[in-house]
Chains A and B, each alone.
Chain A
Amino acid sequence: GESVGLHLPTLSVQEGDNSIINCAYSNSASDYFIWYKQESGKGPQFIIDIRSNMDKRQGQRVTVLLNKTVKHLSLQIAATQPGDSAVYFCAEEVRDDKIIFGKGTRLHILP
């Protein structure tokens, strides 16, 4: 079926350390995946995406890894900052007009 899930609901990371947020997906036909950041009181914000013909994509301080064999996505945030505190969602596009979101992981930054 169509579902995107996350392994951990809350992740606490020391400021300056790297954060890794994991996500499993179930639809093997999906070919486009997105990570979103949602801060309190705001809508989700696009962070980075990856297509199924890639296994790694890098942005500014963020890297997304895709393992199609085990249907697993991860988001790595380098040198985590207080402003990175938010809920992070992985999502998959099942067709041009439909995006399935996971339940989210809350990232908490420790001083």
Chain B
Amino acid sequence: ETGVTQSPTHLIKTRGQQVTLRCSSQSGHNTVSWYQQALGQGPQFIFQYYREEENGRGNFPPRFSGLQFPNYSSELNVNALELDDSALYLCASSFDWEVDTQYFGPGTRLTVL
């Protein structure tokens, strides 16, 4: 098991609602990346936070936003939920965005009805 935890494990929301997902990074890691994984697909990069600043963003609309806290934990916020937002949301922590130090959490399964 990695030291990366995510909460909640599962979540059901309705279209138009807002959701906040949380991620606690591995001890010693200062970078958190968020990914969206639709069923049967590979993870898609949403954005990355390094030392509390956004450090890169994928092709996701502004209603996907995030935060990183001084302890390097992170939140992903999604506003105005759409049906297509249903997916597994993964966070991964690393040290100085070095991919070979990256550990993924188990994910949060979001279902939008």
Chain A residues, CB < 8 A from B103: 43, 46
Assuming the A-B contacts A32-B99, A103-B41, A104-B41, are A43 and B58 also in contact, with contact meaning beta carbons closer than 8 angstroms in the complex?
no
* Cβ of B100 under 8 Å from chain A: yes
**Which stretch in B14-22, B43-51, B68-76, B78-86 binds the other chain?**
B43-51
Q: Which residue of A lies closest to B105 (CB)?
A: A43
Q: How far is the CA of A104 from the CA of B50 in the complex (A)?
A: 28
Closest CB of chain B to A41's CB: distance in Å? 7
User: Which of B4, B48, B56, B100 contacts A43, CB < 8 Å?
Assistant: B4
* Chain B residues within 8 Å of chain A by Cβ, number: 26
Pairwise interchain contact B99-A49, C-beta atoms closer than 8 A: yes
B90 adjacent to A46 (CB under 8 Å)? no
User: B87 to chain A: which residues have CB within 8 Å?
Assistant: none
Also in contact, A43 and B106, with CB within 8 A (given A34-B99, A93-B99, A96-B97): yes
User: Distance in Å from the Cβ of A79 to the closest Cβ of chain B?
Assistant: 25
One digit per residue, 1 when the CB lies within 8 angstroms of any chain B CB and 0 when it does not, for chain A 73-109 equals 0000000000000000101010111111111100000
- Pairs across A and B, CB under 8 Å, 26 listed: A32-B99, A34-B100, A42-B107, A43-B90, A43-B106, A43-B107, A44-B43, A44-B92, A44-B104, A45-B104, A46-B100, A96-B56, A96-B97, A97-B48, A97-B55, A97-B56, A98-B56, A99-B33, A99-B99, A100-B45, A101-B35, A101-B43, A103-B41, A104-B40, A104-B41, A104-B42
Residues of chain A having any CB pair with chain B under 8 Å: 4, 32, 34, 41-46, 49, 89, 91, 93, 95-104
